[in-house]
Amino acid sequence: MDLSEYVTVSEAAKILNKSVPMISHLCREGRFINATKLTTGAWLIPRQSVLNYKPMKRGVKPGTQNKKAKLAAEREAFLAKVKEEN
């Protein structure tokens, strides 16, 4: 693991102009892909994940967009299977 590709919570807070507790909260929610919590309790966040971060729309719960995308993919797969059978 190349540590130069990772940032700390405080560095991510500066990059995104957010508070340190807010970045920790986003890490706990899984909003940064491949963020890793160390045994010391500190987070290591991939720099690219921080740069690609986009805030969710107000009122959207975490994971809702992922769940909708997964359901849509399952629906498409089901419809394709039904179409093949006919």
Q: Are residues 29 and 43 in the same domain?
A: yes
0.85 surpassed by pTM? no
Q: Which has the higher per-residue pLDDT, 86 or 32?
A: 32
Same domain, 45 and 18: yes
Element (H, E) at 44: strand 43-46
37 and 74: one domain?
no
Same domain, 65 and 46: no
Q: Identify whether residues 42 and 12 lie together within a single domain.
A: yes
Question: Widest CA span of the chain, in angstroms?
Answer: 57
Same domain, 40 and 79: no
One domain, residues 1 and 27: yes
Between CA 32 and CA 38, with CA 53 as vertex, the angle to 5 degrees is 25
Cβ–Cβ under 8 Å, residues 37 and 43: yes
The Cα-based distances of 41 to 10, 55, 65, 79 in angstroms read: 14, 24, 28, 45
Domain hosting residue 31, numbered range: 1-55
Question: pLDDT tens digits, residue range 28-69?
Answer: 988 898 899 999 999 999 999 999 988 877 776 666 666 777
Return the CATH number at 51: 1.10.10
